[in-house]
Amino acid sequence: MERKVSLIKSLDWWTIAIYIVMVIAGWVTIYAACYDFEHPEIFNFSMRHGMQLIWISCAAVLSILVLLIDGKFYNNIAYLFYGLMIVVLVATIFISPDIKGSHSWIKIGSFSIQPAEFAKFATALCLAKFMSSYQFNLHQARNIAIIATIICLPMLIIVGQSETGSALVFAAFLLVLFREGMDGSFLMFGFIIVLFFILVLRFNNIPLEVGELPSVERYGYIIVFVLAIIIGAILIKYYLNDIPFIKLYIVINIIIYFIGGIINLINASWISHTNILLMNMTASILLLITWSVYKRRKTYFMLSLFLIGTIALCYSADYAFNKILEPHQQIRIKIVLGLEDDPQGAGYNVRQSQIAIGSGGFIGKGFLNGTQTKLNYVPEQDTDFIFCTIGEEKGFIGTFFVVALFVILLIRLIILAERQRSPFSRIYGYSVVSILFFHFCVNIGMVIGLVPVIGIPLPFFSYGGSSMWGFTILLFTFIRLDANRMEVLQQ
């Protein structure tokens, strides 16, 4: 059953108001970032702030068109649009010019567009369509495989375009799955994998000598193996509550390490602490597999797979880092982990960005008075590093205002998503939240040096037509779906 409701009255004007404030604040910041004393005109379309006015105007038209289209239309075209975007992404690899090593832009005359920005919208629609289908069950292996394909296919194609940053955004869809009932263990194990990977990279190459011989210890492995054994015991307690087995598990590990430690004290060249702990891991795996057969419970076997996966991760981390990642990506990660300091090279952007934000103090230097930004010390200060322009000119107050805007927007979108009557609208709404949240956290973390520089824009603030249009369509489609919620019965 459907009911006709006035579109104007049913729109969430609070969200639209926040969007307008963010777009205006973003344009003002772009104007400040690329301000030229010789060309101060607002409507100078040879300058980036002038071009951004064109993108914003087009985005306004797009937002109106999106709102005028019936909400059911987006459900109907979800699969078709997703398939079309996959074709466009693949074609982009072959027809795109090489721009700073990336093949992700389609040039049409003097105009360039990045399909990856619209692939997020297509993936959100497709995911919402599939997960809202009749009798969908998130815990079925077939459905999990299809969801993984929907998310990973555009992600892998974008990696093929040498746009790793844009590809990583698709990992944000995991948050949607968590909201829809995915076991929290998946997120926990995902966090553990990332943590172990970082620990291996950070601590594996610490130089140390033992007596006359250079150490053969891999301290990243040691830390990860110890953590894995401890986490294994915690998981046994949490999932199985098998206290006798936990005692046996702990005793066997202590005995093996004690014997290995004595041998190491006698002659460190006979066996390293790394290999002792590898023996601990192997014994724990065999014990868990044996107990799985004895008790006829697959949970023990699944925990053994966790330890096996940990060993595989440790011994493949260095290979993945050195052979898969590009040299500039390796350097950026090393800088964040404190393994290298390259203030004049790969670390230049972040160092200058931190100086700009720090020099802004509490209230900032004032509009158009930023020295780091005006003298072009910060590259990409109107795109990926636009947050540092806010920090320098508006200080802590300005950065707090921007962060508050994003937090308010995200909270508002979560409220809207929770009040949806159709699963499609709710899932799509959480997809929007996840994408904006990822961009917000990673971009600001990148600017202040907490995460590696991966080149993703700050939504509604960074210069660029593709990102402005992509985020506008993404957001206003959800606003349209929300306006349509009263026309259908609760499902």
- pLDDT number for residue 182: 84
Q: How far, in Å, CA of 472 to CA of 127, rounded?
A: 19
How many whole angstroms separate alpha carbon 105 and alpha carbon 325? Answer: 21
Higher pLDDT, 36 or 59: 59
When pLDDT is cut at 50, 70 and 90, the band that residue 3 belongs to is very low
Phi, psi of 313 (to 5 degrees): -60, -45
Segment holding 112, helix H or strand E? strand 111-113
**Using CA atoms, how far apart are residues 229 and 232, in angstroms rounded to an integer?**
5
pLDDT higher than 70, residue 73: yes
Cβ partners under 8 Å of residue 350, min gap 6: 335, 446, 447, 448, 449, 453
Letter for the amino acid at 394? K
pLDDT band of 111, cuts 50, 70, 90: confident
Read out DSSP for 135-172?
Answer: T--TTSHHHHHHHHHHHHHHHHHHHHTT-HHHHHGGGG
Banded pLDDT at 330 (limits 50, 70, 90): confident
Cα separation, 420 vs 76, whole angstroms? 18
Q: What's residue 343's pLDDT?
A: 63
Cβ(378)–Cβ(399) below 8 Å: no
Q: Which two tokens stand for residue 301?
A: 């076997």
| Residues 85/122, Cβ–Cβ less than 8 Å | yes
DSSP 458: P
The residue among 322 and 409 whose pLDDT is bigger is 409
Of residues 201 and 396, more confidently modeled: 396
Evaluate if residue 78 carries a pLDDT over 70. Answer: yes
376: left (phi over 0), alpha (psi -120 to 50) or beta: left
Residues 475 and 13: their CA atoms lie apart, in Å, by 13
> Between 40 and 33, whose confidence is greater?
33
pLDDT tens profile 235-273: 999 888 889 999 999 999 999 999 999 998 887 778 888
**Strand, coil or helix: 182:** coil
pLDDT digits (tens, 9 = 90+) for 153-174: 999 999 989 888 899 999 999 9
What is the predicted pLDDT for the residue at 216? 57
Tell me which amino acid residue 464 is: G
Q: What is the mean pLDDT of residues 55-62?
A: 96
Report whether pLDDT(97) > 60.
yes
Helix axes 141-160, 78-95, angle to 10 degrees: 30
Asked if residue 82 lies in contact with residue 125, where contact means CB atoms within 8 angstroms, the answer is: yes
State how far the Cα of 170 lies from the Cα of 431, in Å rounded to an integer. 10
H/E element holding 51? helix 48-68
Question: Mean per-residue pLDDT for 286-295?
Answer: 92
Question: What is the rounded average pLDDT for all residues in the chain?
Answer: 88
Residue 54 predicted with pLDDT over 60: yes
Tokens of 488: 């259908």
Confidence band, pLDDT 50/70/90 cuts, at residue 342: low
Task: Identify the bridge partners of residue 209 per DSSP, sorted by sequence position.
Answer: 214
Please give the average per-residue pLDDT across 335-357, as a whole number: 76
* The pLDDT value given to residue 210: 43
Tokens 């301290």 identify what position? 219
Contacts made by residues 373-378, CB under 8 angstroms, sequence distance 24+: 373/32, 373/33, 374/35, 377/352, 378/349, 378/352, 378/353
8-state DSSP, 323: I
CA atoms of 52 and 468, how far apart (whole Å): 9
Q: Which residues, 6+ apart, have CB-to-CB distance to 223 below 8 Å? A: 199, 203
Amino acid letter for position 318? D
Q: What tens digit of pLDDT does each residue of 205-219 get?
A: 655 444 444 455 778
The pLDDT assigned to 286 comes to 96
**Cα separation, 346 vs 314, whole angstroms:** 26
Confidence band of 346 (pLDDT split at 50, 70, 90) = low
* pLDDT tens per residue, range 397-454: 999 999 999 999 999 999 999 999 899 999 999 999 999 999 999 999 999 888 888 8
How deeply is 62 buried, as exposed, middle or buried, from its count of CB atoms within 10 A (0-12, 13-18, 19+)?
middle
pLDDT at 488: 65
Rounded to two decimals, the pTM is: 0.86
Range of lowest pLDDT (68-72, 338-342, 346-350, 359-363): 338-342
**What are the CA-CA distances from residue 325 to residues 90, 319, 430, 479 (Å)?**
21, 9, 31, 39
Coil, helix or strand at residue 108: strand
Q: Which residue has the higher pLDDT, 326 or 489?
A: 326
Residue listed under structure tokens 């970082």: 198
Task: Provide the angle, in degrees to the nearest 10, between the axes of the packed helices 423-447 and 348-359.
Answer: 90
Q: What is the pLDDT of residue 209?
A: 45
